[in-house]
Amino acid sequence: MTTANSPASGAEQSFVTIGTAGVTGVYYPSGGATCRIVNLSRHDHGVRCSAETTLGSISNIDQLREGNLDFGYVQSDWAHHAYHGTSVFASSEPFEDLRTVFSLHPEVATIVVKRNSDYRQFDDLKGARINIGSSGSGSAASWSAIVRRIGWAEEDQGNLSNLRTSQLADALCTGSIDAYFVLIGHPAALIEETQQLCGVRLLGIESSAVEALLQQSPYYKRAVIPAETYGNEKAIDSFGVVATFMTSAKMPEKIVRTLVKAVYENFDGFKDLHPALGALSANDMTDFGEAAPLHPGALRFFQEQGLLPSEPTSAD
């Protein structure tokens, strides 16, 4: 949590923590990179930063609410639900202090099966042994929301599991599971590892129910897994969410601005950290997926850079 320590170089020192996810995804290197960039100039602005592994989006939101984390990477759909107190957060008070800082890459709803399997489309998987993500992860929660909206019954998903990401490649290739579901940025090291072990085929998720889902839920977006990403000849149509960097309204503007400015001014190096970040532009930092209000410290910085319109001034 944010703490003030003894002054160094004339500035009050603050320490902040960033919740990421498992080490094989994009959140972990993104959080680590943010902290490295911030810490390089900590003597100028007085902010020190540490990235922590977590269970992912749902866990990060809960810890932001409890004050155990200062920042966290969160899927835009779960940020939306947390802010409004809906879906898995229906039993909690709306997290009205949740604030957006910036956005990163799209995370695409992706099904991975063995190349020689008989599964050709999403509905073929009814009754199959599917890993949906560890408990508390955004993927697991998103699976439940998605299949409910597209009409799968309870008996269609009687063989779900919650293995850790590090277990998935071996589990699929040895036949312990038939498929795994992930919301992930592409290309993904996890899928590349599975491909090397046994060969894979990717299934997107598309149906008339998905079309309705996209119209009703602004935090979901159309998404495509490009051709040749994992040897797939054609692009794979699906949908997804936006990876979003979040904090609380209680976080001081100075600290939020420091983190945003550090990433923005080192954007090319930041993108080099992971292939899923490679196609990003600075404008993508303001593609929030309508998750939660923008923190004032981020808003003012983006306005100064011309990435968001400035507030109109009143006439004299």
Confidence of residue 13 (pLDDT cuts 50, 70, 90): confident
Note whether 95 and 178 are within 8 A (CB).
Answer: no
Res 188 pLDDT > 70: yes
Cis peptide before 94 (omega within 30 of 0): no
Confidence of residue 61 (pLDDT cuts 50, 70, 90): very high
How far is residue 150's CA from residue 155's CA, in Å, rounded to a whole number? Answer: 14
- The arithmetic mean of pLDDT across residues 90-113, rounded, is 93
- The arithmetic mean of pLDDT across residues 287-308, rounded, is 90
Taking phi over 0 as left and psi of -120 to 50 as alpha, with beta for the rest, 12 belongs to: beta
- Of residues 133 and 253, more confidently modeled: 253
Res 216 pLDDT > 90: no
pTM value? 0.81
Q: So what's the pLDDT on residue 9?
A: 45
Mapped onto helix, strand or coil, the DSSP state of residue 85 is: coil
Hey, which residues does 223 pair with through a beta bridge? 238
Mapped onto helix, strand or coil, the DSSP state of residue 28 is: helix
Confidence of residue 206 (pLDDT cuts 50, 70, 90): confident
How far is residue 184's CA from residue 39's CA, in Å, rounded to a whole number? Answer: 28
The tokens describing 159, both together, are 């063989």
Which residues, other chains included, contact 306 with Cβ-Cβ below 8 Å and sequence gap of 6+? none
How far from 187 is each of 107, 125, 139, 230, 290, CA to CA, in Å? 11, 23, 17, 8, 25
Hey, which residues does 8 pair with through a beta bridge? 11
- The arithmetic mean of pLDDT across residues 119-133, rounded, is 93
Residue found by looking up tokens 């269609």 in the block: 156
Res 173 pLDDT > 50: yes
Confidence of residue 105 (pLDDT cuts 50, 70, 90): confident
Q: Is the alpha carbon torsion for 226, 230, 233, 239 positive or negative?
A: negative
- 267 residue type, one letter: F
Which is nearest to 285 in space by CA: 104, 108, 107, 106?
104
How far is residue 51's CA from residue 292's CA, in Å, rounded to a whole number? Answer: 22
How far is residue 293's CA from residue 180's CA, in Å, rounded to a whole number? Answer: 33
Kindly report, residue by residue over 270-290, the tens digit of the pLDDT.
Answer: 888 777 777 788 888 998 767
Kindly report, residue by residue over 224-238, the tens digit of the pLDDT.
Answer: 898 999 988 999 988
Q: What domains can be seen in the chain, in order of their start residue?
A: 4-104+242-304 (3.40.190.10), 107-241 (3.40.190.10)
Q: So what's the pLDDT on residue 167?
A: 93
Q: So what's the pLDDT on residue 29?
A: 85
pLDDT-above-90 percentage for the chain: 51
Res 313 pLDDT > 70: no
